[in-house]
Amino acid sequence: MKLLLRCLRHLWLDADDARHALGEAGIGRLEARVRASEQEHTGQICLCVEASLPPSYLWRHVARGESIEDVMRDRAVTLFGKQRVWDTEYNNGVLVYLLLAEHRIEIVADRALARCTDEAHWHTLVERVAQACRAGHIEEGLSTAVDVVGAALAEHFPCAHEDGVTSRADPGLPDRPTIR
């Protein structure tokens, strides 16, 4: 029964549900928060809110018996590549991926930042954000994620300041959350 309910949730929810969960004002506030954070470091933060898994990913869970956690992680890594989050000069991009149907989050950090932080740091953040999302505070949870990821990036990859001029890399990734 649990599997059936999970499948129905994934088949029922779509991008409109994700947009509705955040609201246009919430999406705008998150975009502004990402933009402000990126003034403090050379990294890139990308938010992706997906209502449900595509059928091919859901099928892997249902028919092949892969854990939903493994399927979600694979989906997040795929979106990390598709959204070109890896395309930063210092290999310090981060994707914060929220799957609404599961009220779960994945964080994929590029290799340079991954070397500077341990798994426990990301696990703690994932738990905090997931708790907020389960309580219906999706924007608050994602704001927390942006703040914590931004602090890690600012600590390890601060903007270079020479003669009062701020230097930061910008591969042109969008600050606006991707809604799928």
Q: What is the spatial distance between Cα 1 and Cα 68, in angstroms, rounded to a whole number?
A: 16
Q: Please enumerate in sequence order all residues whose Cβ is within 8 A of that of 87, keeping only pairs 6 or more positions apart, or say none.
A: 93, 171, 173
Burial of 88 (0-12, 13-18, 19+ CB in 10 A): buried
- Phi/psi for 43 (5° steps) reads -85, 180
Q: Tokens standing for 131?
A: 């708790």
Q: Do the beta carbons of residue 58 and residue 20 sit within 8 Å?
A: no
Q: Tokens standing for 18?
A: 């994700």
Q: Tokens standing for 101?
A: 């149907």
- Half-sphere exposure of 161 toward its Cβ, with a 13 Å CA cutoff? 6
- The residue type of 99 is L
Residue appearing with tokens 């991008």 = 15
Query: Residue-wise pLDDT tens for the chain (180 aa)?
Result: 889 999 999 999 999 999 999 999 999 999 999 999 999 999 999 999 999 999 999 999 999 999 999 999 999 999 999 999 988 889 999 999 999 999 999 999 999 999 999 889 899 999 999 999 899 999 999 999 999 999 999 999 998 755 544 555 556 788 999 999
Q: What is the spatial distance between Cα 33 and Cα 23, in angstroms, rounded to a whole number?
A: 15
